[in-house]
Amino acid sequence: MSVMDFHFDFSSPYAYFASTRVDELAQRHGRVCRWRPMLLTPAFQASGNVRLIDQPLKGAYSRHDWDRMARLMQVPYRFPDPFPIGTVAAARAFWWLDSTDPVLAKTLGRALFHGYFADNRDISQRNVVAAIGAELGIDAAQLLAAVEDPVWKAKLREETEGAIAAGVFGAPFMVVDGEAFWGVDRLGMVEEWLARGGW
Amino acid sequence: MSVMDFHFDFSSPYAYFASTRVDELAQRHGRVCRWRPMLLTPAFQASGNVRLIDQPLKGAYSRHDWDRMARLMQVPYRFPDPFPIGTVAAARAFWWLDSTDPVLAKTLGRALFHGYFADNRDISQRNVVAAIGAELGIDAAQLLAAVEDPVWKAKLREETEGAIAAGVFGAPFMVVDGEAFWGVDRLGMVEEWLARGGW
């Protein structure tokens, strides 16, 4: 089945909002959505950008926009503290699980997003990631071992480098047959692209 | 009649695309769209941003996205050369005309956008601005005098500073009753906001 790639960092509010829509969107067009967590910091470095929250004017706008967009999309959200955070543990845990159970990996991914952005759980902490996993029946000791495993460290690094090499500079970043769409505000455009096969 | 402010720089492709929609959008909700040309460079300086075209990764994405968005919106467009350009003459001419004939000023604004982005006319040159104005029956000598008039120099400077003080960091930038929306991809959200009176 053809895919729709969904590149993101677990620390991005816009990616969280998109994550509540991408799977159904892909399914409506006979595709499977492939979640691809990465680290945004190297992507920002590569593209000369800084975190939204640190930008004068745009930072204040974004913070207001997240609240407004959450209400519009009816997605549970509160501005988390701390923000932003490192998502190495969350992303490695996802990739580890994805290698054996992609469906459960997505379930974990949704729970991590929800835990951080709706329940203010600090998923930069590996113990929090493990606790969220445990609530889904995922073995906490195995998850914590995977987070430290060189295999999953390398996987996340490669994923991030590969995404940047493919042009990913922000999140969410959707790619369909090589066509790239950046931002949750482009989900409508992605849908149009899939429905019409481009234009 | 209440207004919808439309802040933009004549050098912004996304603002050009938005300019083909904002008036009808405002009218559908009993508003008048107020065109407010400004200079983006000081806004970029204030917000720590650089021009899209100069950004690694994002520059290439944007250039592709402009082509794609023009096709989707069915707006005549070709990537102009040179790009980007200074728009001091275009913006001053607009404000000069707006002081006496706001309807004609918008007509000139549309013609300037179209001249640059559809017909590849270099509107950074005051003579080109005057020629486009003359095609609409606007006196070229008066327009050229206005472009050099301290009154309109000051007006553009104040407009730009005022926009930045109000939080404008990019274009197009629409403001409705103090609610700010950045980007052509937010026109749908503006419409929703106007239709529902916020959410």
HEC profile of chain B: CCEEEEEECCCCHHHHHHHCCHHHHHHHCCCEEEEEECCHHHHHHHHCCCCHHHCCCHHHHHHHHHHHHHHHHCCCCCCCCCCCCCCHHHHHHHHHHHCCCHHHHHHHHHHHHHHHHCCCCCCCCHHHHHHHHHCCCCCHHHHHHHHHCHHHHHHHHHHHHHHHHCCCCCCCEEEECCEEEECHHHHHHHHHHHHHCCC
Whether residue B65 is predicted with pLDDT greater than 90 in this model: the reply is yes
Residue B199 contacts by C-beta under 8 Å, 6 or more apart in sequence?
A68, A71, A72, B192, B193
pLDDT > 90 fraction of chain B, expressed in percent and rounded: 94
Confirm or reject contact between B164 and chain A (CB < 8 A). yes
**Could you report the predicted ipTM of this complex, rounded to two decimals?**
0.94
Judge: A199–B57 Cβ closer than 8 Å, yes or no. Answer: no
A47, A60, A192 member nearest B56 (Cβ): A47
Q: Which residues of chain A have pLDDT under 70?
A: none
- CB-side exposure of A170: number of CA atoms within 13 Å? 22
Domain B3-196 has CATH 3.40.30.10: yes
Instruction: Provide mean pLDDT across the span B182-189.
Output: 97
Contact (Cβ atoms closer than 8 angstroms) between residue A47 and residue A36: no
Mutate which: A61, A66, A164, A174, vs B, most B CBs within 10 A: A61
Q: What DSSP state is assigned to residue A35?
A: E
The per-residue pLDDT for range A25-52, each reduced to its tens digit, is 999 999 999 999 999 999 999 988 888 8
| Annotated domain spans of chain B | 3-196
Identify the CA nearest to A6 among candidates A174, A199, A180. Answer: A174
Judge: B185–A180 Cβ closer than 8 Å, yes or no. Answer: no
Confirm or reject contact between A56 and chain B (CB < 8 A). yes
The pLDDT, as a whole number, for residue B82 is 97
The per-residue pLDDT for range A135-150, each reduced to its tens digit, is 999 999 999 999 999 9
Confirm or reject contact between A195 and chain B (CB < 8 A). no
Give B130→chain A minimum CA distance, Å.
35
The pLDDT, as a whole number, for residue B188 is 96
Residue A68 contacts by C-beta under 8 Å, 6 or more apart in sequence?
B199
Identify the CA nearest to A97 among candidates A114, A118, A111. Answer: A111
Judge: B57–A168 Cβ closer than 8 Å, yes or no. Answer: yes
The pLDDT, as a whole number, for residue B48 is 85
Judge: B189–A72 Cβ closer than 8 Å, yes or no. Answer: yes
